[in-house]
Chains A and B, each alone.
Chain A
Amino acid sequence: MKTFSKGGVHPAENKIAANAPIEVMPIPKKAFIPVGQHLGAPAKPVVQKGDTVKVGTLLAKGESFISAHIHSSVSGKIEKIDHWMDTSGYKRQMIIVGVEGDEWEESIDRTPEIVREITLSKPEIIARIKESGIVGLGGATFPTHVKLMIPDGKKCDVLLINGVECEPYLTSDHRVMLERGEEMLIGVSILMKALDTNKAMVGIENNKPDAIAHLTSLAAEFSGITIHPLQIKYPQGAEKQLIKALINREVPSGKLPIEVGAVVNNSGTALAVYEAVQKNKPLFERVVTVTGKSLAKPANLLTRIGTPIGELLEKAGGLPENSGKIISGGPMMGKALTQTDIPVSKGTSGILVLPEEDSTRPETLTCIRCAKCVQACPMGLMPYHIALLAAHQKWEETEKSHVMDCIECGSCQFVCPSARPLLDYMRVGKQTVGLIIRNRGKK
């Protein structure tokens, strides 16, 4: 069975919500819709306080090249455009909508029939995806339409669909593949048409045999789509690792996957593409896994963007007494949240509640140069060295040590016997060096 070659770790899977079917989350009383839910420049609000909006109304426009539109996930009146806490730990601009009823835009096709025939042409598909504000739902939230616009001189010969979901605890992609498999595969066909390729490979880790079996039987009806079971190894869901595992090509440092003729999209994104292109439905809801060993009812909830995570936790049986951390995302790459009124955004794949005993960090000891982190790093970096450079704020040398190639998977910190906060240092190093590089470009 295929997997990527370099590094990787095996954290406990803990997919406790895997058997919980997708439930529809009730509409919140107030939706907090961030204008910056994607990688790139935040969108600019096109509505004002007091405006009435419907479900699917455009709220903010992504104007720069790498940006995405934001649509209303609820119907009602815009209460204010203000700063509110988001997953970054800082207050960011948000459009706060007071909910009244649930009225959708007429253009959205709400019929349950599955539309298989793709009528739109290639540029129309890309335009529709852009209008619908679709971003990568795996967590990195890179605008999908930018991915589909292939630069001149490059050719995409294979589309890779990421159904790996290697992050422990998270099960939203798994449930999407199981319950909305057909729609997802139509979405894959749409993406294939947009990319002018006749080959698509869906990579699924071997811990989801039901999803593999289900999609394999469905894929027989779709030309060019093949399902590939993969060996379980974290971080296989990372773009570069998936490319290595599925087609054994290596993306050069600092380059995009198109350099080796591949485009990678998440399985959840494929479903969103189907809904946008065939049903004219913008991206305003997504499946969020609410999970944790201490939760009464771990669940996969189809949630409107802008729902405060506190409401999701209520739905999953309430926040347990002994909770130590609430994490947006999975335990390896996720970020601890500071408040429960932070809203769900396009990139929120899961909400993880950790009990006190699991959430405290062990005491940090000195580096013993065991090089376990070097072995674990899937990008072939030297995390102990980069972390040390970043800790001493030697940014030039940090850059020379290829900190920008770090994918922030956290494998290094996971294996470190001294419990050193390697990922924290790497992240700050990446942020600072990225800033230095951008400033250099301006001069």
Chain B
Amino acid sequence: MIGVKSDLFQRFYNFVTPSNEYQKRRIIVNNVILYAVVSLGAISIAAAVILYFIAQKFKVVEDPRIDVVNEILPGANCGGCGFAGCRSLAEAIVKAGTLEGFNCPAGGSDVMNKIGEALGLQAEESIPMIAVVRCNGSRTNAVAKVQYDGPSSCAFAHSLYAGESGCPNGCLGLGDCVTACTFDAIRIDEETGLPVVSDEKCVACGACVKACPRHIIELRHKGKKDKRIFVSCVNTEKGAPAKKNCAVACIGCGKCVKVCPFDAITLTNNLAYIDYEKCKLCRKCVSECPTGAILELNFPPQKPKETAPVESATV
């Protein structure tokens, strides 16, 4: 091998072969660097190979469309769609490959149409809904007989007693629905002590429906120009005890059931209920109710009642 020493090799040989003290020390330092580079390099190559195979083995293929859908969704994570959050809904939609049965109440049909466009699917036509508080037991209608001084939460008061007015089904007014709302759409009216839902802000996610321990809040059709008719009472007691606690309680007399031309009203457990699917907003039941338990919202004032029979008499 010595015979084939080239010029370059000679220089390297001179470099690594110590000829004096100074060169000896330099070589020791150079060796340490050399060992480090070689050993770490070997480890990194080995690790890269292992990681490559592990990555291959445990590869997660995610549909890129999930990200697309997730981007379109409002990102409020309200849970109104029935999934844990917006991303869960996006995953479910992409997995199902159809928009049927999916609805984002917070985004409404705009968002669903956008998702439909992005995925090339047809979005279902969804009717806008809104949360409706079915209790009118305000401070004047349902006068407080006792005073509650426990923890300020409906769930807690509900477990303790019927309520300040004595109505076992009525609103407790301590605002569990307000706490549950992530859209700032519900607040307790200082004067009446009842929750008020904002027509603009409510997205009908249903968080308040779940939060109310007395199942007073219901999701109903928002109605054209926000016109709605509903029985604003959930009391299932008989007429007399119900009326004793609240002036505007449904007493289960059934007058509204008889007057309704569309069979939209049913009476169960001394309580009338208007089916919003069938109701045509004719307002006949509203004037028929003897206690004023049926509320109409955002309607123009009704004509005075006396004139109507006179007109019909002349015809």
Question: How long is the Cα–Cα vector from A340 to B201 in the complex, in angstroms?
Answer: 44
For A421, give the chain B residue with the smallest CB separation: B151
- A425–B160 CA distance with the chains assembled, in angstroms: 11
Interface size bracket, B side: 10 to 19
Q: How many contacts between A and B, using CB within 8 angstroms?
A: 41
What is the CB-to-nearest-CB distance from B275 to chain A, in angstroms, rounded to a whole number?
28
User: Are the C-beta atoms of B151 and A391 separated by less than 8 Å?
Assistant: yes
Contact A428 B162 (CB under 8 A): no
Check if B301 is an interface residue, CB within 8 A of chain A: no
- Residues of B contacting A88 with CB < 8 Å? 161
Chain A positions 415 through 431: 1 when the CB is less than 8 Å from some CB of chain B, otherwise 0: 00000010011011001
B146 within 8 A of A: yes
Chain A interface: which size bin?
10 to 19
Beta-carbon contact of B156 and A428 below 8 Å: yes
Task: Check if A361 is an interface residue, CB within 8 A of chain B.
Answer: yes
Within the complex, the shortest CB–CB distance from B262 to chain A, in Å, comes to 34
Contacts of A91 in B (CB 8 A): 162, 168, 237, 241
CB neighbours (8 Å) of A361 from chain B are 149
Distance A88 CA – B162 CA, assembled complex (angstroms): 9
A83 to B237, CA, bound (A): 9
Query: Is A90 part of the contact surface with B, judged by Cβ < 8 Å?
Result: yes
The answer to whether B149 and A90 have CB atoms under 8 Å apart is no
A89 neighbours in B (Cβ, 8 Å): 160-162
The answer to the question of B247 belonging to the interface, with a C-beta cut-off of 8 Å to chain A, is no
Check B156 against A425 for contact (C-beta < 8 Å): yes
- Cβ contact within 8 Å between A431 and B159: yes
Let me know if A425 and B151 touch, CB within 8 A: yes
Q: Tell me which residues across on chain A come within 8 A of B155, comparing CB atoms.
A: 393, 428
In the complex, are the beta carbons of A424 and B162 less than 8 A apart? no
Quick one: which of A360, A391, A425, A431 contacts B149, CB cutoff 8 A?
A360
Residues of chain A in range 125-158 having any CB-CB distance to chain B below 8 Å: none
Interface presence of B109 (CB below 8 A): no
Complex Cα–Cα for A338 and B244 (A)? 15
Scan B135-171; emit 1 where CB is below 8 A from any A CB, else 0. Answer: 0000000000110011101011001111000101000
Q: Are A90 and B153 in contact (CB under 8 A)?
A: no
The interface residues of chain B lying within 8 Å CB-to-CB of A360 are 149
Say whether B168 contacts A424, CB under 8 Å.
Answer: no
Q: How far is the CA of A85 from the CA of B237 in the complex (A)?
A: 13
Pick from B149, B159, B166: contact of A428, CB under 8 Å: B159
User: Would B156 and A338 count as touching, CB distance under 8 A?
Assistant: no
Set of chain B residues within 8 Å of A391, measured between Cβ atoms: 151, 153
List the A side residues contacting B149 at CB < 8 Å. Answer: 360-361
B161 touches A424 (CB 8 A): no
Closest approach, in angstroms, between the C-beta of A411 and any C-beta of chain B? 18
Report B34 CB to chain A, min CB distance, Å.
58
Complex-state Cα separation, A175 to B235, whole angstroms: 44
B150 contacts across to A, CB distance below 8 A = 421, 424
Ordered by A's residue number, 15 sampled pairs between the chains whose C-beta atoms are within 8 Å are A83-B241, A91-B162, A91-B168, A91-B237, A338-B145, A338-B162, A338-B166, A361-B149, A391-B153, A421-B151, A424-B150, A424-B151, A424-B160, A425-B151, A428-B159
List 12 other contacts, CB 8 Å, given A424-B151, A425-B151.
A89-B161, A90-B161, A90-B162, A91-B241, A338-B161, A360-B149, A391-B153, A421-B150, A421-B151, A424-B156, A424-B160, A425-B156
Chain A positions within 8 Å of B, measured between CB atoms, are 83, 85, 88-91, 335, 338-339, 360-361, 391, 393, 421, 424-425, 427-428, 431
Report which B residues bind A (CB closer than 8 A): 145-146, 149-151, 153, 155-156, 159-162, 166, 168, 237, 241
- In the A-B complex, the 5 residue pairs with the smallest Cβ-Cβ separation, listed nearest first, are A89-B161, A338-B146, A421-B151, A361-B149, A428-B159
